[in-house]
């Protein structure tokens, strides 16, 4: 199945052009995408699937569906 990825800030370094479409297995979860993109586990990260914020503890259990939209950004605190 295919999911679309949009990345911002420091996370865009792992997604050329800042956005892409990935082919993943039907049992793929958020962790699968993070690993595919090569984002280090210690990198501060915020993941939003469609309109849902996914806590880090649920990356490995949140299954993805066809055409899901993943936003991968920094949990930056500045203004």
Contact positions vs other proteins (CB under 8 A): 6-10, 12, 18-19, 44, 46, 48, 51-53, 55, 71-79
Whichever of 7 and 29 has its CB closer to other proteins, that residue is: 7
Q: Pick from 73, 77, 70: which is nearest to 11 by CA?
A: 73
Whichever of 7 and 33 has its CB closer to other proteins, that residue is: 7
Write down the least CB distance from residue 30 to other proteins, Å. 14
Q: Pick from 26, 31, 18: which is nearest to 4 by CA?
A: 18
Helix, strand and coil percent figures for the chain, each rounded to 5: 25, 30, 45
Write down the least CB distance from residue 77 to other proteins, Å. 4
DSSP character at residue 6: E
Whichever of 9 and 36 has its CB closer to other proteins, that residue is: 9
Write down the least CB distance from residue 45 to other proteins, Å. 11
Distance CA 40, CA 2 (A): 22
């Amino acid at each position: 199945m295919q999911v679309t990825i949009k990345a911002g800030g420091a996370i865009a370094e792992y997604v050329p052009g800042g956005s892409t479409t990935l082919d993943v297995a039907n049992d793929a979860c958020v962790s699968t995408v993070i690993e595919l993109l090569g984002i280090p586990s210690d990198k501060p990260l915020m993941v939003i699937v469609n309109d849902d914020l996914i806590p880090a503890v649920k990356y490995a259990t949140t299954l993805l569906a066809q055409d899901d939209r993943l936003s991968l950004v920094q949990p930056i605190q500045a203004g």
